[in-house]
Structure 1
């Protein structure tokens, strides 16, 4: 959209940045700071909370300010591996890594599958697992240990299941009944509270690790949106943002910390133009899903041949062979997809006809927001 505005296709409207300089302003806290988590490991700090973030939380609590901590993953860990054979514990219906829950069981983030208290490895039947990575519950556990007197709440899919749970949490935070709020993306937008003095992004690296051409853009947006929860209108002072990462030299993290949208846009458009990604091309994502693996292979291969023949005499159309998406199986149904890229403004009629004549079961996504 910004690209189209620059080209004159859309009208660009810009909001001026708030310049807050209240009497209580402390210039030492008016900044975004990147914390290198490698250095935390060097000093034997293995908590997801860095020493710097911990001290800033202490400062916020002392001054009766609220803190928002953003981590884009729920549970106690990212995945769990068998201590015996090193096999990742996976959901049998989705083949995705199960997430350890603080109730002592493992759950699938994509379906309702959960293990019993005594989970077993699918390969060696071992029952001892090592939990790897971070999640909202692990952050909550450490914060409760560090700040036993603080009022701490968690906002993720697991804790927001009950009707009106999110609106109740929102009201409690607005009323000052919560000191520290830990959450996923649901707390990075529309949380406009002047008493938020600190925002911590627990694991910025996790936002970048997706094999998608919009991965950097989404990471930049998430960091900017999370950081924007502080420095609101009527705030006591502009506040502090802590970004934790194992890669402090990453250009996306540095540009987001600077709030430098123009430079990010310039770099991103150069890369996309070189690789032929939108906005310099258009995409069509075709997805076929079924419980029968042989049927999926046969159907996607046949569709690929038809589509390839449809664009054989057309310039600037590319159709690579079918491939598995990032999550190839959900609730027992397998997926395979075909991506079509082209530089024309409109879809060629011959190609459109070939797409419309595909067999039942295909999902057609024109100009998809993601190719994974």
Structure 2
């Protein structure tokens, strides 16, 4: 079966192309399951374990797998970002980061920052014991500054280059940014509520210094049955931003009540 982990949509894989009715279909992609299949072909005798939300269900399974790694009962551990976060594996001497630049394609002002963080975190898992480690980074964008600076763990270099772009675009920390997210089980309610907030805010904006982006469907437009629209407000005038957000939120609550939920996120870490 094919399942979306965000919206919960579940369906059977098609047996023919819905456009041309062709039957020569094959599964493609580079998810952890696909990588596991390739690894088992390349290393048939290796003890391979996968760490992701499909393979690990609950804290007990998570702790059990970490125990196996500590006892050196696992030769190859692969997974999602769960693998990179803060684990101390002294026996690990080689780390590979697959599709290291995939986050750079996301519509998120912190995409370069998150890419740099992920690579440096993953690289930090190698060579933590007595033997030095190696890191292999797979990327289609090897000249991107987040990739180049992560290779040498150059935090200052990345900070200075990222700050230059943030300054040019007026992004934090140069200004403040507030995300208004509108959620509803009814897509039209979420869309109209976002427009209601925008119209109220626009009517109150005086002079320059306030940038309104959106509203638009969130990049991940539906999560757990809830449709999501979002709008961004940017300004260095913190109190003015706060006043406008309160007014926009009130406008939605007055018109839609509990039919639509409004979430306010100041300097959001996640824009997806």
What TM-score results when the alignment is normalised by the length of structure 1? 0.66
- By relative contact order (CA 8 Å, sep 6+), the higher-ranking structure is 1
Query: Which of 174, 177, 188 lines up with 2:84 in the alignment?
Result: 188
Q: State the alpha-carbon separation in 2 of the partners of residues 230 and 346 from structure 1.
A: 46
User: Match for residue 11 of structure 2?
Assistant: 115
User: Match for residue 165 of structure 1?
Assistant: 61
Q: State the alpha-carbon separation in 2 of the partners of residues 189 and 298 from structure 1.
A: 39
Q: State the alpha-carbon separation in 2 of the partners of residues 266 and 163 from structure 1.
A: 39
> Residues 258 and 163 (structure 1 numbering): CA distance in 2 closer, same or farther, change over 3 Å?
closer
1:138-159 Cα shifts (integer Å, max 9, x gaps) = 1111111111111110101100
**Residues 243-282 of structure 1 correspond to what in structure 2 (within 5 A)?**
243-282=137-176
1:66-125 Cα shifts (integer Å, max 9, x gaps) = xxxxxxxxxxxxxxxxxxxxxxxxxxxxxxxxxxxxxxx322121443323656666667
Please tell me whether the aligned partners of residues 86 and 121 of structure 2 are also in contact (alpha carbons under 8 angstroms): no
Query: Which of 214, 218, 233 lines up with 1:325 in the alignment?
Result: 218
> Residues 180 and 239 (structure 1 numbering): CA distance in 2 closer, same or farther, change over 3 Å?
same
1:237-291 Cα shifts (integer Å, max 9, x gaps) = 2211111122322222111111111111000000000000000011111111224
What TM-score results when the alignment is normalised by the length of structure 2? 0.88
Asked if 1:365 is matched to 2:265, the reply is yes
> Residues 319 and 166 (structure 1 numbering): CA distance in 2 closer, same or farther, change over 3 Å?
same
Higher share of residues assigned helix: 2
User: Match for residue 225 of structure 1?
Assistant: 121
1:187-232 Cα shifts (integer Å, max 9, x gaps) = 1012102111111112112132211110000000000000000132
Please tell me whether the aligned partners of residues 151 and 180 of structure 1 are also in contact (alpha carbons under 8 angstroms): yes
Please tell me whether the aligned partners of residues 106 and 119 of structure 1 are also in contact (alpha carbons under 8 angstroms): no
Q: State the alpha-carbon separation in 1 of the partners of residues 177 and 163 from structure 2.
A: 16
> Residues 346 and 238 (structure 1 numbering): CA distance in 2 closer, same or farther, change over 3 Å?
farther
> Residues 279 and 190 (structure 1 numbering): CA distance in 2 closer, same or farther, change over 3 Å?
same
Please tell me whether the aligned partners of residues 285 and 337 of structure 1 are also in contact (alpha carbons under 8 angstroms): yes
Query: Which of 343, 368, 372 lines up with 2:236 in the alignment?
Result: 343
User: Match for residue 25 of structure 2?
Assistant: 129
Size of the alignment, in residue pairs?
A: 265
User: Match for residue 147 of structure 1?
Assistant: 43
Runs of 5+ in structure 2 lacking a partner? Answer: none
Runs of 5+ in structure 1 lacking a partner? Answer: 1-104
What value does the CA root-mean-square deviation take over the aligned residues?
2.2
